[in-house]
Amino acid sequence: MPDARGPSRAAVNALRTLLERHDHIVQEVDGQNDFGEDQHLTFTEDGQVTGDVVKIQVKGGRSWRRADGYFVPVGEHGRTWADGNVPVVCVVHDPDTGSLHWANATQQLLAARRNGEVLKTITIRSDQKLGDDSIADFVAEVRHYLSRYRGNRIIQAQLGEMAGVEFGASNIVQHHVNAHGEDLIFWQRRGEEFATLLHSDLDWQPEHIGPEHFHPHGRPDLLSSAPVVANTMLSRAEAQWLAACFDAARWAREPVADDPPLRTNIGARDNYVARRVEHHLWVESDSLTRSIQQLRTETATDHDLAAISTELESDAEACAEALSKPWREMSAKARRLVTFYLVKEVRAGSPALPIDKQFRIVWRCPRPTGEYGFDARIGRPSTQMSSHRESVLAFGLEPGDRIYWLSRYGNERGREVSAVWDSEDTPGAVCVLFDQLTLGDTFWPGESFVRKVSTKPR
């Protein structure tokens, strides 16, 4: 057990005497409560008070001694020491030598966190002394750290104001300005398996992404070599910056045993559902009509659902918007109504899962059948044109279309489109069922097909 109150009081007095002898201002914290801080130190310079303040945890006695120096236990103070607005320094007083030794607790905790470690103690080297001969070095080093620490917090706050969001103290926030003067912000929350990309050119709409959404060499349905994240094309410089951000924040996506449990990111959930609904409407143009018909069938026997439907549909203006306007032109009320029509349930899994696995949308009108993934595709769409053929993108295919397919050996044959739907297994993709088979093939929305020209109006 640590030495009793006498050595601790002696340690506090020794440190206070030293600091005040050099004209710095010390304010003691009530020792009746263990807040992980014993003193607040305000630095002075040339007799003038500066704005530099640091918190100090003081320990005294032989119990804090080790063979190679000294230590201070972190205890329950890890998060406040690492993420507080003011950094924390630990000081140990050795009663046998009368010497003081110090270490930057905040710096050690943050460095350990980046390596995926949880520190139990703050290590203090025996040569890290604090005395009359070394106090100038102590002041210079701590004030330099304070400047960087405070500067990072100020920059983070300014970026948050610019993007209209609020970053947490433990969040990783990186900023990039592209060649056109547009701002990009990479935002990683501790323990979440996805990050958020904020882009000024996209009106700061959050794009929740993981490494699985990043295609640095392009996607088949977009410009062949342009990097893509989710559905946003990037320049090479932006892609390199984003790749570096993902790599640097890898440690933050890994859960740490001592971290408090994650809660569902409600903002990410709502944004994810909105993006999926917009894509659903785009791929399945008749989905709203079918979903409303299905809802009418359900409300005939489910009185609670009928009551919700009646309340949402009581706003005539929102109803008119929902049935006539594109998603991006709808009011919030109209979007809520459309989401109610289309989505039966949103199931939320562990907050530590990738976003596409964390949230699972149950559509009111389920998909017609299961799906093959991209890797299961055998052959490819034909691009051979003739006077009786026309080009069409995957999301523009319709049941009854006759398309042309190349086998793995390059032989062409016709195939009939049986169904087209918004992929559930690969959000953002399109599934096409050919020839009434049991599973649909997966394509990116902009992949090109050739179909037979129809004599019937589309």
DSSP letter string, 372-407: --GGG--SEE-----TTEEEEEGGG--TT-EEEEE-
Q: What is the pLDDT of residue 4?
A: 45
**Confidence grade of residue 117 (pLDDT, cut at 50, 70, 90):** confident
Residue 205 pLDDT more than 70? yes
Residue 1 pLDDT more than 60? no
What is the average per-residue pLDDT within 318-332? 95
What is the average per-residue pLDDT within 250-259? 77
DSSP state of 320: H
Residue 65 pLDDT more than 90? yes
Give the CA-trace dihedral at 353, 76, 95, 102, to 10 degrees: 40
Nearest one of 395, 162, 166 to 265, comparing CA atoms:
166
- Cα–Cα distance for residue pair 159/145, rounded to 1 Å: 21
Q: What is the pLDDT of residues 172-186, one digit of tens each?
A: 999 999 999 999 999
Q: What is the pLDDT of residues 390-421, one digit of tens each?
A: 999 999 999 999 999 999 999 999 999 999 99
Q: What is the pLDDT of residue 375?
A: 84
Write b or e for each residue in 10-22: b if 16 or more Cβ atoms lie within 10 A of its Cβ, otherwise e.
Answer: bbbebbbebbeee
Q: What is the pLDDT of residues 2-60, one digit of tens each?
A: 444 556 889 999 999 999 999 999 999 876 667 789 999 999 998 899 989 999 999 99
Q: What is the pLDDT of residue 3?
A: 44
Residue 293 pLDDT more than 80? yes
- This prediction's pTM: 0.74
Tokens standing for residue 305: 């659902």
Q: What is the pLDDT of residues 232-245, one digit of tens each?
A: 889 999 999 999 99
The three-state secondary structure class of 430 is strand
Nearest one of 29, 267, 23 to 168, comparing CA atoms:
267
Residue 151 pLDDT more than 50? yes
H or E stretch including 440?
strand 439-443
Residue % of the chain over a pLDDT of 90: 74
Q: What does the angle CA 180 – CA 177 – CA 251 come to, to the nearest 5 degrees?
A: 145
Least confident of 53-67, 166-180, 213-227: 213-227
- Cα–Cα distance for residue pair 194/267, rounded to 1 Å: 13
